[in-house]
């Protein structure tokens, strides 16, 4: 079975541009979460979606948005990119039930120049 | 005070040593405890999952939770150079969202 898949794996953007990152969860998982991991830090929670509804949001500006599609895949969008948005963006997949294990993809490395 | 505290290391040990990695947390609502291993420039890989106080063993790995002290540990027996990675503790309050520590970098030398 495929794990959590993310695309693209690496990308370079210019300040002010927009970026879209994509994620496909593990088959059967209905919850997708997004995390940002800057160098030397642990992942920080951005969004959680379950059954296409936003179920949680971390402390990130409105430039960050996401959505989940009927097939449970998800997109993370970031507008007006700043240099500080350079990070590894991780997608996590779970069944969505309380206490279930959470699995991560390999991430999308975003560099803003 | 951060919700999850973890010594960033690096922790350097010789091959074959027993490694102890630790996290403390402040939120009593935290219920589910996960340990992830992250190799350089890769996504976190789930190693252990526990939800109650006590020990859970899986091969060379043992996860320990003490809810009364808000303290969790991961022990690695017979450490190998391939164990060299960053170890993240991730704690879930029950909504399938994780709060992480900074991660501890472990270096196992042959």
User: Residues of chain B with pLDDT > 70: what percent?
Assistant: 98
- What is d(CA A30, CA B69) in angstroms, rounded to the nearest whole number? 34
Point out the residue among A31, A88, A104 whose CB comes nearest to the CB of B96. Answer: A31
Starting at the edge strand found earlier in the chain, the sheet holding A5-7 runs A5-7, A19-24, A74-78, A64-68
Chain A, 6-65: which have a CB under 8 Å from a chain B CB?
6, 31, 33, 35, 40-45, 48, 50, 55-56, 58
pLDDT: is B41 or B96 the higher one? B41
| pLDDT of res. A1 | 60
Q: How close A47 comes to chain B (CA, Å)? A: 9
Say if B31 is an interface residue toward chain A (CB within 8 Å).
yes
Burial class (CB in 10 A: 0-12, 13-18, 19+), A27: exposed
**Tens digits of per-residue pLDDT, B47-90?**
999 988 889 999 999 999 999 999 999 999 999 999 999 999 99
**Tens digits of per-residue pLDDT, A52-111?**
999 999 999 999 999 999 999 999 999 999 999 999 999 999 987 777 889 999 999 999
CA-closest candidate to residue B79, choices B54, B67, B62: B62
- Whole-number Cα distances in Å, B61 to A12, A64, B64, B103: 38, 37, 10, 17
Say if A92 is an interface residue toward chain B (CB within 8 Å).
yes
CA-closest candidate to residue A75, choices A6, A29, A9, A17: A6
């Amino acid at each position: 079975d495929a794990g959590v898949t993310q695309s693209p794996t690496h990308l370079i953007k210019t300040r002010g541009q927009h970026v879209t990152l994509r994620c496909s969860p593990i088959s059967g998982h209905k919850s997708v979460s997004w995390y940002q991991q800057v160098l030397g830090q642990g992942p920080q929670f951005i969004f959680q979606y379950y059954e296409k509804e936003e179920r949680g949001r971390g402390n990130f500006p409105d430039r960050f948005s996401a959505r989940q599609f009927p097939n449970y895949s998800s997109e993370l969008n970031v507008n007006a990119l700043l240099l500080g948005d350079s990070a590894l963006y991780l997608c996590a997949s779970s069944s969505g039930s309380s206490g279930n294990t959470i699995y991560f993809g390999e991430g999308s490395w975003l560099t803003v120049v | 005070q951060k919700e999850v505290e973890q010594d960033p290391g690096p922790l350097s040990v010789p091959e074959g040593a027993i490694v102890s990695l630790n996290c403390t947390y402040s939120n009593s609502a935290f219920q589910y405890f996960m340990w992830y291993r992250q190799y350089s420039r890769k996504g976190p890989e789930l190693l252990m999952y526990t939800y109650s106080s006590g020990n859970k063993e899986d091969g060379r790995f043992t996860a320990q939770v003490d809810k009364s002290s808000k303290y969790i540990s991961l022990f690695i027996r017979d450490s190998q150079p391939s164990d060299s990675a960053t170890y993240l503790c991730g704690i879930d309050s029950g909504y399938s969202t994780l709060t992480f520590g900074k991660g501890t970098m472990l270096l196992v030398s042959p």
